[in-house]
Amino acid sequence: MIPEIKDILNKINSIKFALDGYRPFSEHVVKQLRDYYRIGLTYTSNAIEGNTLTESETKVIIEDGITIGGKSLREHYEAIGHAKAYDHIYTLMGRHISEEDILFLHKLFFQQIDFENAGRYRQKNIIITGTDYLPPDYQKVPELMKKYIANLNTNVEDKHILEQASDLHAEFELIHPFTDGNGRIGRLLLSILTMKNGYCPVIIPPIRRAEYITAMQKSNKGDLNTLRAFVVSVIYEEMKSLKRLVESLVR
C-alpha cells in the first residue's frame, strides 16, 4: 500500500470510528441523509458526464417535478432516472449483488432515455470518446460481468475495502457493459460497496472531473494506484462532511 493512501485510510477510519458511536442512526437521521445524498449524488454523477443542470435545478426536478427552461429533455430524464436508481440501492445493502440487480439499476436509470437498451448489456462494440481505450467485444460482456459480480461479492483479506471498491470500479468501467450510462451505474455500485461497509457514498465534485477522468484512463492501462488515491481522497472529504451532518442532526 502506498504510504499516502495508507495515511488517508487511517484518517477515514478514525472518522468512521467516531460515526460508529452514533450508530444505529435514528429514522430521522437516516431519512435526512438519504434525501441529502439523493440530490448530491445525482447532481455530481450527472455533471461528470456533461449534464448541465445545477444542484438546485436537479433538486427542483426530482422533488417538485418542475421542468427547467433551456435544459434538454434528456438532462431531465437523467436526473429523474438517477434518483430512481439511487433510491433502489438501499434495497441492496444487506445482501450480495446479483446480475439482475445491476441490470435493473441500469433500467431504472436509462428507461426514459433509451427504452430499448435499458437494462440490457450492449449488443454491439463501442468506442469511448476522448480516450484510446477500446472496451471488450460485446460478446464477452456477459462472461466478464459474471467475473466482476463474483469479485464484487468477495472480500479480499489483504486489501482495504475502499481500495477494493476502487479496483472494482476500474474493473466495471473496463468492461463498459452498457451502450450508455456506464459511469453513473459504476459510481452507484461504488457507493453501494462503500455504504455497505459503513462509509459514505462516493461524491465526486464536478471541479475534480478532469482528475477523475485522468485516474480512470490510467486504470485502463493498469495503473490502479492513481484511482485508489483519488477515490480515498474524495471519500475522506465526504466523510468529514458526513460527520458534521450527523453531529448537527443528533443534537
Single out the catalytic residue among 76, 160, 169, 176.
176
186: cell is 459504476
Name the one residue in this structure whose C-alpha cell is 430524464: 77
**Residue 176 annotated in active site:** yes
**DSSP secondary structure code for residue 221 in this structure:** T
Please tell me what DSSP assigns to residue 90: G
| Residue 45 dihedral angles phi and psi, to the nearest 5° | -65, -40
* Residue in the structure block whose three cell numbers are 480515498: 232
For residue 91, which amino acid is it? Answer: T
Residue partners of 231: CB distance under 8 A and separation at least 6: 162, 165, 166, 169, 190, 202
Give CB contacts under 8 A, 24+ apart, made by 12-20: 12/162, 12/199, 12/232, 12/235, 12/236, 12/239, 15/236, 15/239, 15/240, 15/242, 15/243, 16/198, 16/199, 16/239, 18/243, 19/198, 19/239, 19/242, 19/243, 19/246, 20/198
Q: Which of 167, 156, 161 is nearest to 222 (CA)?
A: 167
Amino acid type, 94: G
- DSSP of 54-88: -HHHHHIIIII----TTS-HHHHHHHHHHHHHHHH
What are the catalytic residues?
176
